[in-house]
């Protein structure tokens, strides 16, 4: 299978257009241009953002994480000219603190998250992320992870399935789809995507397609988020990433799902609040906010970028900077 993936070919550069690249570079620049700066790209992917950061900052060291070994291999080829300044690590990003400790790092100057699935993962039909092609119902970002989309479909109870579809896919027909899945799997377990796509065509009312898009879109998104526990790991990593930023360090997060964006918004709001008791008239020394927001609300991609790169259509970018630490 690895052979076949490789044959689908092309370099990392051809496979992924980095979203909001200029804005990301601009937001991180003051932190990354400092002497001896270290940035963690938590979602290395095809290394597009990483390559641009390394090129813009000749003194920068980059730690690149990805749970997908194919992405790490391709990004490694792309970033070969910077080999002496990079550490690429196969990890789920909630292993943040352990990865930094293993590298002997106590704090970092930048953190970048470009969440979700990469074009490489969508294009490699054998991995089952795309509903447009019949493929095994896999959807694991880390091909070594234990649970596939087929496991979810064949083992979850109807209520649990409905919750996944409703919460992660914002699917209005979640209950109906879950009941149909449970009924169908009694005949034969699900193995391939075409059967699920047909079930969704049969279950989602045709009238809703005019506004809701392809009937499989939301179910596939929901399954992918569940298979990879995407929201759980994001919830765990945000405090760890914020904790590790040095004063003056900056974090940029690009989300593609409203629940992800809400988590980021909350995590930033927690840290940008004053810690002085509300009934005191003046800020207590060392109790000011630890972070300040660098973005007003969530920033979106412009029309031109969305036209050139449809992935940018749902992006929400938020950024923050550490301005103080603890009670010091
Ligand atoms: C949207 S792509 C990143 C693209 C990258 N910024 C670029 O310019 O090429 C997201 C990548 O993050 C990885 N990823 C998603 N969730 C992850 C997690 N929890 N831990 C580690 N890697 C993750 C995916 O495997 C995918 O390769």
pLDDT in tens, 241-286: 999 999 999 999 999 999 999 999 999 999 998 888 888 888 888 8
Mutation pick for ligand 1 pocket among 16, 51, 54, 66 (CB with most ligand atoms within 8 Å)? 66
Token pair for 203: 């279950």
Give the number of the atom of ligand 1 that is nearest the alpha carbon of residue 93. Answer: 20
Distance 124 CA to ligand 1 centre (A): 15
Placement of tokens 């005019």 in the chain: 210
pLDDT at residue 310 in the model: 87
Q: Is the pLDDT of residue 47 over 70?
A: yes
| Tens-place pLDDT, residues 63-115 | 999 999 999 999 999 999 999 999 999 999 999 999 999 999 999 999 999 99
CA distance 197 to 203: 10
| Dihedral, CA of residue 207, residue 211, residue 214 and residue 216, to nearest 10 | -80
Strand partners, 86: 62
Average pLDDT, the chain: 92
Q: Decide: 66 in ligand 1 pocket, CB within 6 A.
A: yes
Residue-range domain boundaries for the chain: 12-120+230-322, 125-228
* % of the chain surpassing 70 pLDDT: 94
Centre of ligand 1 from the C-alpha of residue 67, in Å = 7
Judged by average pLDDT, the poorest of 74-78, 151-155, 156-160, 324-328 is 324-328
Residue carrying structure tokens 């449809």: 310
Q: Which atom of ligand 1 is nearest to the CA of 141?
A: 25
Residue whose C-alpha is closest to residue 325's, from 268, 295, 293, 287? 287
Token pair 């207590």 is at which residue? Answer: 284
Entry pTM: 0.93
Both tokens of residue 216? 């499989």
CA distance readout (Å), 198 to 179, 189, 192, 233, 262: 15, 15, 11, 31, 33
Annotated binding site for S-adenosyl-L-methionine: 47-49, 66, 93, 114, 121
CA–CA dist 309, 303 (Å, integer): 10
CATH number for the domain running over 12-120+230-322: 3.40.50.150
* Residue 169, ligand 1, Cβ within 6 A: no
For the record, the structure tokens of 255 come out as 């989300």
With bands split at pLDDT 50, 70 and 90, how would you rate the model's confidence at 172?
Answer: very high
Bridging pattern class, strands 108-114 and 86-90: unpaired
Report which DSSP code applies to 283. Answer: P
If you measure from the C-alpha of residue 13 to the centroid of ligand 1, how many angstroms do you get, rounded to a whole number? 15
Question: Does 124 sit in the ligand 1 pocket, CB within 6 Å?
Answer: no
Per CATH, is 125-228 categorized as 3.90.660.10?
no
The rounded Å distance from CA 140 to ligand 1 centre is 12
| CA-311 nearest atom, ligand 1 | 1
- How many whole angstroms from 189 Cα to the centroid of ligand 1? 30
- Give the number of the atom of ligand 1 that is nearest the alpha carbon of residue 234: 19
Residue 255 near residue 268 (C-beta atoms within 8 A): no
Distance 113 CA to ligand 1 centre (A): 8
Residue 2 in this model has a pLDDT that exceeds 60: no
Q: How far is Cα 314 from Cα 213, in angstroms, rounded to an integer?
A: 14
Report the residue count for the chain. Answer: 328
Which runs of consecutive H residues, i.e. helices, occur in 143-297? 149-155, 158-169, 174-187, 193-203, 209-212, 217-227, 230-244, 258-271
Q: What is the mean pLDDT of residues 31-39?
A: 98
């Amino acid at each position: 299978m690895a052979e076949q993936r490789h044959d689908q070919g092309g370099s990392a550069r051809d496979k992924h257009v980095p979203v909001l690249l200029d804005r990301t570079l601009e937001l991180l620049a003051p932190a990354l241009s400092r002497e001896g700066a270290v940035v963690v790209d938590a979602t290395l992917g095809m290394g597009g953002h990483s390559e641009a950061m390394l090129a813009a900052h000749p003194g920068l060291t980059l730690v690149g994480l990805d749970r997908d070994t194919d992405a790490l291999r391709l990004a490694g080829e792309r970033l070969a000219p910077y080999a002496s300044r990079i550490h690429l690590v196969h990890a789920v990003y909630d292993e943040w603190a352990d990865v930094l400790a293993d590298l002997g790092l106590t704090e970092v100057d930048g953190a970048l998250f470009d969440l979700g699935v990469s074009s490489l993962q969508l294009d490699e039909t054998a991995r089952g992320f795309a509903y447009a092609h019949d493929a095994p119902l896999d959807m694991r970002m880390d091909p070594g992870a234990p649970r596939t989309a087929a496991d979810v479909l064949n083992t979850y109870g109807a209520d649990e399935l409905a919750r996944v579809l409703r919460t992660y896919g914002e699917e209005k027909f979640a209950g109906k789809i879950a009941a149909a899945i449970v009924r169908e799997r009694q005949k034969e377990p699900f193995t391939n995507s075409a059967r699920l796509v047909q079930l969704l065509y049969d279950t989602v009312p045709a009238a809703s397609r005019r506004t809701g898009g392809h009937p499989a879109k939301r179910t596939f998104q929901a399954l992918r988020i569940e298979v990879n526990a995407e929201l759980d790991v994001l919830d765990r990593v945000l405090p760890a990433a914020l904790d590790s930023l040095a004063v003056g360090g900056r974090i940029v997060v690009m989300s593609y799902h409203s629940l992800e964006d809400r988590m980021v918004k909350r995590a930033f709001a927690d840290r940008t609040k004053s810690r002085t008791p509300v009934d005191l008239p003046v800020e207590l020394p060392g109790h000011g906010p630890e972070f300040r927001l660098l973005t007003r609300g969530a920033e979106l991609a412009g029309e031109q970028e969305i036209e050139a790169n449809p992935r940018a259509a749902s992006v929400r970018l938020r950024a923050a900077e550490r301005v103080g630490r603890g009670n010091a």
